């Protein structure tokens, strides 16, 4: 939805030039409006001065360029207008002694507003931003537990003298921070923090090691830039505006039912019916907008489900819905024909894109600039091309990300499920599921490729750690040698989580640490680079919590991944979509390798010749780890 920035300076006062540079770096996230507020806490009473910029939608306020007074706090905002397109939605927004900058959407804002009105609150806008302010005023920091949405916001509480930061449960919206000597900065993207010269421009070698040796990315509160971190999904942070102390707290922690359980088909149907209703409502809420809404359509089960539900909810207006597909004619993994089949059945307008190697080479520098960090594969360009076309037609786009992580869609999950049956000594169920898994493959070689990893999942923790070192020995040694850091136990443990011998435990790791954070970061940057907002129905917390409470036996059944999702949407989609055996993920032609991205990223950010930059360049030489080899586990 937007780009947010902020500065808290404890001594001396902050500089207005910093907030202008930071917010200017995020113009692509919000071309519709620009706003600032300067807050002086040193005065006898907190003094707030609203300010505008060249793109501001409001008039009559002082310009940020003209402001030279002392201030301890600056907030900046770039708006992508989605709800209440009038100037009433201008930010930073004030309520009593509260000031907020907000990126995202609170999808249940209408229900919350009705509840707050019943408690005596009055509203002057039709925005969800004003609802956040009133909700905080009534419920304090616990207000976020009531939100169903995707958000990153910063709220200055003048009465308490605090800055309250919050990020949504699964990290759909980003929020980066830097704390230096006497200053605390935050922003929606890393590039905004790097726009301040005082922020060090150095490589985080530990995180670089995780990326180079183990292909771990977006997996922690650290980034590839030393001194720049990020709020974790489901995290709040409270900063004392007078002393500078910061306190982290988790308001949400995803848990799972780790039992394998016994399968009963009647119960499976009951689960599927509930899931269907939750999915429909998740999509319904995410259609709330005062601008055109579209959707991505890959031809796979997840995005096809979103299109089918959107079409049903739209009724006669479905002919005005737009879906966007990346196709690769002639490639074995091309899903264009499936996408067209879904679009025709749903009765929506279809837009098909044909990304190619030439476009990748022409745009890779721009893509890397907007991503801020390497992304580990050329598939990101396909998403970029889709969003570039979507921006010509819509301002909001729904996506099927999260379906694999919630409903167990990757092949790895089958191995974890088999390991769970084995560990519980359910020999008959293990043999039956193994036999059904074999039927999923049309040739023995494909089956052998999938099952060759099964022994790893069956091992105990100590044996796994030893095997990790053996499996990744070349990558680990090369990265440690090039970057001058050693392999940490924590890094190896993170890789070990990828081989969890329990299906729901593995799902937790993929949701919290691996594929979902990486996918969400890529999508957010690709969308916002073209000034459109992404919404992810599969990350509705009601749906996620419900599915993660279900035993593993219902998630993979008779060799079928996503068993409950297939049951839930079996009448909404063609059988060829619901009961397809092959899974391509977000596959693309191999236009380039991960090493190519790494080298270009280093050239963009570390052009100097000493210190961390030199170590980083050494990591990109011929003796560097083969990022696209065994360490990169594609689903």
Specify the 3-state DSSP secondary structure of 51.
strand
Contacts of 386 (CB under 8 A, 6+ apart): 296, 324, 325, 326, 353, 526
Contacts of 470 (CB under 8 A, 6+ apart): none
| Token pair for 605 | 């950010």
Rounded Cα distance, 128 and 74, in Å: 22
| Token pair for 438 | 């074999």
Rounded Cα distance, 45 and 230, in Å: 32
Nearest Cα to 416, choosing from 443, 440, 437? 437
Strands 533-535 and 396-398, how do they pair?
parallel
Contacts of 128 (CB under 8 A, 6+ apart): 83, 102, 105, 106, 109, 149
Rounded Cα distance, 16 and 129, in Å: 24
CB-based contact 546:387 (threshold 8 Å) = no
| Token pair for 396 | 């909001």
| Token pair for 490 | 């924590």
Rounded Cα distance, 604 and 613, in Å: 11
Catalytic pick from 2, 212, 323, 526? 2
Q: CA distances (Å), 203 to each of 64, 227, 530, 599, in order?
A: 32, 9, 28, 13
Q: Peptide bond before 92: cis, by omega within 30 degrees of 0?
A: yes
Rounded Cα distance, 528 and 295, in Å: 15
Q: Is 143 a catalytic residue?
A: no
Q: CA distances (Å), 90 to each of 75, 152, 209, in order?
A: 13, 17, 42
Q: Any idea what the Cα angle at residue 489 is, between residues 487 and 495, rounded to 5°?
A: 85
Q: What is the DSSP string of 553-598?
A: GGTSBTTBTTHHHHHHTTTTS-HHHHT------S-----S-HHHHH
Nearest Cα to 306, choosing from 351, 350, 346, 268? 346
Rounded Cα distance, 449 and 615, in Å: 37
- Number of C-beta neighbours around residue 1 at 10 A: 29
Helix-strand-coil percent breakdown of the chain, rounded to 5? 45, 15, 40
Specify the 3-state DSSP secondary structure of 151.
strand
CB-based contact 219:513 (threshold 8 Å) = yes
CB-based contact 625:631 (threshold 8 Å) = yes
Strands 33-40 and 2-9, how do they pair?
unpaired
Specify the 3-state DSSP secondary structure of 379.
helix
Rounded Cα distance, 313 and 575, in Å: 21
Runs of H (alpha helix) within 241-286: 265-285
Provide the annotated active-site residues: 2
């Amino acid at each position: 939805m937007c780009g947010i920035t902020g500065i808290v300076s404890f001594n001396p006062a902050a500089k207005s030039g910093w907030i202008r540079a930071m917010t200017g770096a995020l113009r692509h996230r919000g071309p519709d409006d620009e706003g600032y507020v300067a807050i002086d806490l040193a005065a006898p009473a907190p003094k707030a001065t609203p300010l505008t910029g060249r793109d501001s939608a409001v008039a009559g306020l002082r310009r940020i360029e003209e402001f030279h007074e002392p201030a301890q706090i600056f907030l900046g905002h770039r708006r992508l207008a989605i709800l209440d397109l009038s100037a009433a939605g201008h930010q930073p927004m004030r309520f009593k002694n509260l000031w907020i900058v907000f990126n995202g959407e609170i999808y249940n804002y209408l229900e919350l507003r009705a509840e707050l009105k019943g408690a005596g609150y009055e509203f002057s806008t039709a925005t969800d931003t004003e609802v956040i302010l009133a909700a905080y005023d009534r419920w304090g920091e616990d207000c976020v537990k009531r939100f169903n949405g995707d958000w990153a916001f910063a709220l200055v509480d003048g009465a308490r003298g605090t800055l309250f930061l919050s990020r949504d449960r699964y990290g759909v919206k980003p929020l980066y921070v830097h704390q230096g000597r006497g200053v605390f900065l935050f922003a929606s993207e890393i590039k905004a923090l790097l726009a301040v010269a005082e922020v060090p421009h150095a490589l985080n070698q530990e995180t670089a090691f995780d990326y180079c040796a183990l292909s771990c990315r977006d997996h922690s509160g650290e980034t590839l830039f030393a001194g720049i971190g990020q709020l974790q999904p489901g995290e709040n942070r409270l900063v004392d505006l007078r002393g500078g102390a910061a306190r982290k707290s988790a308001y949400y922690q995803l848990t799972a039912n780790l039992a394998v359980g016994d399968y009963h088909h009647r119960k499976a149907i009951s689960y599927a019916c509930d899931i269907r209703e939750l999915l429909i409502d998740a999509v319904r809420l995410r259609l709330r907008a005062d601008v055109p809404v579209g959707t991505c359509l890959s031809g796979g089960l997840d995005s096809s489900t979103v299109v089918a539900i959107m079409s049903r909810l739209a009724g006669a207006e479905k002919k005005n819905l737009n879906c966007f597909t990346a196709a690769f004619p002639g490639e074995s993994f091309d899903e264009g024909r499936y996408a067209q089949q879904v679009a025709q059945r749903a009765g929506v307008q279809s837009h098909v894109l044909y990304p190619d190697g030439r476009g990748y080479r022409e745009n890779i520098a721009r893509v890397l600039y907007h991503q801020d960090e390497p992304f580990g594969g050329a598939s990101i360009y396909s998403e970029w091309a889709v969003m570039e076309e979507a921006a010509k037609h819509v301002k909001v786009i729904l996506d099927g990300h999260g379906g694999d992580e919630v409903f167990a869609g990757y092949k790895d999950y089958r191995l974890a499920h088999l390991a769970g049956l084995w560990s519980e000594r359910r020999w008959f169920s293990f043999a039956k599921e193994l036999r059904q898994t074999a039927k999923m493959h049309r040739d023995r070689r494909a089956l052998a490729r999938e099952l060759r990893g099964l022994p790893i999942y069956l091992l105990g923790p100590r044996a796994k750690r030893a095997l990790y070192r053996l499996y990744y020995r070349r990558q680990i040694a090369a990265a440690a040698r090039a970057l001058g850091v050693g392999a940490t136990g924590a890094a190896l443990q993170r890789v070990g989580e990828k081989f969890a011998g329990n299906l729901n435990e593995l799902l937790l790791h993929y949701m919290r640490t691996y594929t979902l954070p990486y996918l969400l970061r890529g999508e957010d940057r690709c969308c916002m680079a073209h000034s459109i907002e992404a919404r992810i129905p599969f990350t509705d917390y009601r749906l996620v919590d419900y599915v993660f409470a279900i035993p593993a036996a219902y998630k993979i059944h008779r060799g079928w991944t996503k068993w409950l999702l297939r049951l839930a949407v079996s009448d909404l989609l063609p059988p060829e979509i619901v009961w397809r055996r092959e899974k391509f993920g977000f596959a693309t032609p191999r236009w380039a390798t991960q090493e190519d991205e790494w080298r270009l990223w280093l050239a963009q950010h570390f052009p100097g010749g000493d210190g961390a930059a030199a170590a980083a360049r050494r990591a990109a030489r011929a003796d560097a780890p083969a990022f696209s080899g065994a360490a990169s586990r594609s689903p």
